[in-house]
Amino acid sequence: MGRRLYVGNLPYSATEDQLSSLFGEVGKVESVRVMRDMATGRARGFAFVEMGNDDEAQRAITQFHEYKMDGRPLVV
C-alpha cells in the first residue's frame, strides 16, 4: 500500500489547507494537491493526500472514507 491517497467526491469549495488540517488529525501530512480545471481554476472534486507513512495512510482511509465534508461523503 502507498502513502499517497486519492480523495474523491470533494466539495468544489475544498482547499488544500482544509484537507491538510483534516488528514493531519490522524498523522503527518506530507503534501496535499486539490486537482483544478486548467481553464477555470475551479476544483475538480478530487485530490491527492500524501501521508507520512503507511500506518498513517491506513488510519486516514479507515477514518475518512465516507466522512461527510460539506454534506458529501468522501471516497478515500
pLDDT of res. 1: 53
Tell me the residue ranges of DSSP E strands in 1-76.
Answer: 4-8, 29-36, 43-51, 68-69, 72-73
pLDDT of res. 7: 98
pLDDT tens sequence across 12-23: 999 999 999 999
Query: How confident is the prediction along the chain (76 residues), in pLDDT tens digits per residue?
Result: 579 999 999 999 999 999 999 999 999 999 999 999 999 888 899 999 999 999 999 999 999 999 999 999 999 9
**What single-letter DSSP state applies at residue 12?**
T
Instruction: Tell me, yes or no, if the pTM score tops 0.85.
Output: yes
